[in-house]
Structure 1
Amino acid sequence: MTSFVLERLLTDETQTARLGEDLALSLRAGDVLALKGDLGAGKSTLARALIRTLADDAGLDVPSPTFTLVQSYDTRIPVHHFDLYRLGSASEIDELGFDEALAQGAALVEWPERAEAYLPKTTVLIELVQQGEGRLARVSGQGAAFERAARSLAMRGFLEGAGWGEARRRHFIGDASARSYEIVSLAGHRQRVLMNSPRLVLGPPVRDGKPYAVIAHTAQSVSAFVAIDRALKAGGVSVPEIHAEDQDQGFLLLEHLGSEGFLGKDGEPLAKRYAAAAELLAMMHGLTWPQRLEARPGRFHDVPPFDRDAMMIEADLLVDWYVPAISGNPASDDLRTGYAKEWNALFDRLQGREYTLMLRDFHSPNIIWRGDRSGHDRLGIVDFQDALIGPSAYDVASLAMDARVTISPEIEKQTLDAYMAARHAAGAFDQAGFLESYAIMAAQRNSKILGIFVRLEKRDGKPYYLKHLPRIRDYLRRALSHPSLAGLRDFYNAHGLLEERAL
């Protein structure tokens, strides 16, 4: 495996600390960063900045572990700071609990040459050497940890090009995809959001020679976000201003719309805010949206359709992941055949129904409440790069059956009523057709989510999504109560798909 090298000139202690901050933002559990350099080279400055960034505590006491040999910190990603200077022999690293530390977090190792043969081949080496009045930092390594470190350094370069090179970076939020977000702060300016959206890795073919993401029409680059952001803004929707962009690398510097959401102090959904979001959807669904959107001069994003293949492969996540998890065996051919038959009959019923720009994940994590504003401007919308042209009912179902919040039947009804009242007020509206489409889309979405949340646990090592499964099953039962879905409801009941199961 080839080792790669990046170099950064550090003219003072501030730049050394900034490098530590940048490396901290790239860390994942299991990573090893090795700090190499003479006494006084700046290793302690870099280590201190890295740990304080992970802790989001600029004043955190970070003593040198010279005498204790290892110091552990319960930060966003637990980090274990090793100093091997006093190590008697390389094998003693095992006695320090090095492997156990990597199983639960990341390791920061000073004087790695004392145990070099015992460090993983994927270790990222940061070597600090004297150069003039400053230091030259050489960052080298191979594999995913080095690639993440290199991308984080590229993000700093992007900030420098935007005039924000001295900004403080802090982790903001990640999601179920490879995207991540940071809050960046610069004296004299309002905070902004740094979006890191690497190009989508498509994965292996799963059907008809195509990867899942191609069939489901998942956005493959940040250009989709840029194009849809501009279209939504032109349509009167409050979305982030894009202050700087590098679409080729997948970096955006965005307006920070705020952090207030849709939940009360005890985590309860605030019905009036859900109703306001439903009214925003009603406004959007009354507009005509172009399918071809400009991402930048000469580059366009064609909004894909939420076609039958996309609907079906999403619904199939239930039989691909959820069924094996609850039954202990792969779904049988008979189950798959019956499942597809029921769903295709429902997809037939969507023909001729209202289709529009469908944001796909229109729910509380992606809607910011701005109570100091009025009308639709109270709602700031984010995370819409996977938008499709699909049934208008889909986003209403995404909102009224919020996957991460327990929405009571009463609040679901209030949300639906607010949407339908706004549509009736704007003109002719097929309420019966909408309610049937709503039930179909709610059943499709919640079936998909059951599969996704199990996949996140089984494939991606994210077990905390499983706690949402009882809520999703309840939403699915509600959707299946519509008379048009009787056949699918009977099928789910016959195969025990709606039973409460502990995974």
Structure 2
Amino acid sequence: MDVIIPEGATGFLHKAGWADAAIEPLPGDASFRRYFRVRQADGRPAMLMHAPPPRENPEPFLRAARWLDANGLRAPVIHADQAEAGFVLLEDFGDVRVREYVEAWPDDEAAVYRAAIDTLLALHRLPPGPFTDYSLSEYLREVRLFTEWYCPARGLYVDVQGWTAAWEEALAPLLPRQRPGVTVLRDYHAENIMLLEGLEAQGLLDFQDALVGHPAYDLVSLLQDARRDVSPEIEAAMFDHYCRGASAAAGGAFDVDTFLADYARLGAQRNAKIVGIFVRLWKRDGKPRYLDLIPRVWAQLERDLAHPALAPVAAWFAANIPDDLRDPAGVLGGTFAA
């Protein structure tokens, strides 16, 4: 763990009224952001986020946090910020993440996930927030991470133009259904949801990349988690729980089959993107530990590709990715290119 306190942090805390607070570094994530727990002499805690420009920009986090809080959702309260220097002092949600809690108390898993689905339903009842649209060009930029990073690392020469064309065809039916759209947090999963008071009071983290898009995106992010196994039974039950809530909100005008097709489309899109990101984290950023997560993500990708809505993308995989690399159990086997 990097224990070096960023230059300017003590001055920022002094101006924020936390001059004498103790500073404790916390483990980092896949980004260039760093987090510190700060604690006053009386025990009062807060979180210090350092998102240093030019690699990071705290402004999107601040905008999203304030919008979520203003609309009744539990993002951390912002105590102070110095965005130009990358510093934000925010509410401390504690240490109880959904991931660790449900692993310790598996009998509570369904209740915890139902509460997380209820948070999504509440978010989706709101008009979309002040965020950019999740455009086709953004979807395509993300899935190209697969051909830009994973395929070269595997020594594969693939049909890149065909990859883009397949995704354009697969995503075309979905695009009209994400207008006017909902706020999409884009990284909604068990490591970014905190338990605050009981199982149902849940706090949100890591929403700085929020866009306006399709309601299935955050649902598939939660239920096809890259970092923990969500059983098929829990995924199916929570999918049904979401659909019942969305149908009630729409007065019964909710097509489950169409929504399931879009869920598969966005699951495949997200999982293909994540495979590329995890390889990039290794090759570019020197973080090889994310490679161990690829088999789980790949298994989810293969399940999504089985849906007829993904037929163009499934055909591309059949033509470009050798069968021995498509077995999730052996997806990390063989040799990655240096």
Give the alignment's TM-score, normalised by structure 2: 0.89
Q: Report the counterpart of residue 140 of structure 1 in structure 2.
A: none
Which string of whole-angstrom CA distances, capped at 9 and with x for unpartnered residues, describes residues 85-131 of structure 1?
xxxxxxxxxxxxxxxxxxxxxxxxxxxxxxxxxxxxxxxxxxxxxxx
Matches within 5 A, 1:130-145: none
What's the offset of the Cα at 1:187? 1.5
User: Distance between the aligned counterparts of 2:143 and 2:54, measured in 1?
Assistant: 21
1:175 corresponds to: 29
Q: Which amino acid aligns with 1:368?
A: M
**How far apart in 1 are the matches of 2:31 and 2:18?**
26
Change (3 A) 1:200 1:399: farther
1:153–1:325 Cα change, 3 Å: closer
Structure 2, unaligned runs of 5 or more: none
1:22-61 alpha-carbon deviations (Å, 9 max, x no partner): xx733xxxxxxxxxxxxxxxxxxxxxxxxxxxxxxxxxxx
Q: Is the counterpart of residue 386 in structure 1 residue 222 in structure 2?
A: no
Q: Equivalent of 1:364, from 184, 187, 190?
A: 190
Q: Which residue of 1 aligns with 2:118?
A: 279
- 2:307 aligned residue (470, 477, 482): 482
Residue correspondence of structure 1 range 242-281 to structure 2 within 5 A: 242-263=78-99, 264-265=102-103, 270-281=109-120
SS at match of 1:466: helix
- Say whether 1:305 aligns with 2:283: no
Which residue number corresponds to residue 337 of structure 1? Answer: 161
Q: Which has a greater percent of strand?
A: 1
What secondary structure sits across from 1:353 in the alignment? helix
Secondary structure, counterpart of 1:319 in structure 2:
helix
Question: Secondary structure of the residue that 1:306 maps to in structure 2?
Answer: coil
- Kept in 1: contact 2:60–2:208 (CA 8 A): yes
Alignment of 1:159-198 (within 5 A): 159-198=13-52
Please give the alpha-carbon distance, in whole angstroms, between the structure 2 residues aligned to 1:261 and 1:373. Answer: 11
Larger radius of gyration: 1
Deviation at 1:267, TM superposition (A): 8.9
Aligned to 2:77: 241
Q: For 1:396 and 1:290, how far apart are their aligned partners in 2?
A: 18
Q: Which amino acid aligns with 1:340?
A: T
Are the aligned partners of 1:356 and 1:390 in contact in 2 as well (CA < 8 Å)?
yes
Structure 2 counterpart SS, 1:240: coil
1:265 Cα deviation after fit: 4.2
Q: Indicate the SS of the match to 2:175.
A: coil
Q: CA deviation at 1:373?
A: 6.8
1:198 shift after superposition: 1.3
Task: Indicate how the Cα distance of structure 1 residues 396 and 322 shifts in structure 2: closer, same or farther if over 3 A, else same.
Answer: same
| 1:373-432 deviations in Å (ceiling 9; x for gaps) | 75xxx1100111111111111111100111101112111112211211111222232322
Q: Which residue of 1 aligns with 2:289?
A: 464
- From 264, 269, 274, the equivalent of 1:444 is 269
Task: Find the aligned partners of 1:190 and 1:410 in 2 and give their Cα distance.
Answer: 41
| Residue 495 (structure 1) shift | 2.3
- Give the structure with the larger helix fraction: 2
> How many pairs align?
320
Q: What's the CA shift for 1:168?
A: 1.0
- Bigger drift between 261-270 and 434-443 goes to 261-270
Give 1:361 shift.
Answer: 0.5
**Whole-angstrom distance in 1 between the partners of 2:44 and 2:239:** 36
CA distance in 2, matches of 1:25, 1:164: 19
Q: Which amino acid is the alignment partner of residue 356 of structure 1? A: V
TM-score with structure 1 setting the length = 0.61
- Cα-Cα RMSD: 1.9
Q: What is the CA-CA distance between 1:266 and the residue it aligns to? A: 5.2
Q: What is the CA distance between 1:471 and its match in structure 2?
A: 0.1
CA contact (8 A) 1:353 1:433 kept: no
1:200-256 CA-to-partner distances (Å, cap 9, x unmatched) read: 43xxxxxxxxxxxxxxxxxx6211111111111121101111111112212111111
Gaps of 5+ in 1: 1-23, 27-148, 202-219, 292-302
